[in-house]
């Protein structure tokens, strides 16, 4: 997988209270990913970028909320998140990554 596609597949790490709890309990990390990204692509991208072994990938599609704005009704963008479970003893340090 080339570097360009890695950065297209992995949009950003998703940092929230729930993501922190999941990371501590299950050794899972949460990433916002491209809507067209597949599970094998996500697995290869994480392994290539962070040099870790990935056990499994679970994805979830989140529908954007409808919100009232000054110009009528608006809609937030739909997002896709990936929960990536690492092999035992593996860890991702976001400060150390490229």
Residue range 35-78, pLDDT digits in tens? 999 999 999 999 999 999 999 999 999 999 999 999 999 999 99
User: How far is it, in rounded angstroms, from Cα 41 to Cα 1?
Assistant: 8
For the chain, give the longest Cα–Cα distance. 51
**In the block, residue with structure tokens 């990936």:** 82
E strand or H helix at 57, and its extent? Answer: strand 54-62
- β-pairing, 54-62 with 72-75? unpaired
- The dihedral built from the CA positions of residue 23, 28, 29 and 32, taken in this order, carries a sign that is negative
Contacts of 28 (CB under 8 A, 6+ apart): 22, 83, 84, 85, 86
pTM over 0.85: yes
């Amino acid at each position: 997988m080339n570097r360009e596609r890695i950065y297209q597949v992995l949009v950003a790490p998703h940092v929230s209270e729930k993501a922190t709890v999941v990371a501590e309990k299950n050794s899972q990390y949460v990433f916002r990913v491209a809507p067209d990204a597949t599970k094998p692509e996500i697995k290869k991208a994480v392994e290539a970028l962070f040099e870790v072994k990935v056990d499994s990938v679970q994805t979830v599609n989140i529908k954007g909320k409808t919100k009232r704005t000054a110009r009528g009704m608006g809609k937030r963008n739909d997002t896709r998140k990936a929960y990536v479970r690492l092999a035992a003893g593996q860890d991702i340090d976001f400060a150390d990554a490229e």
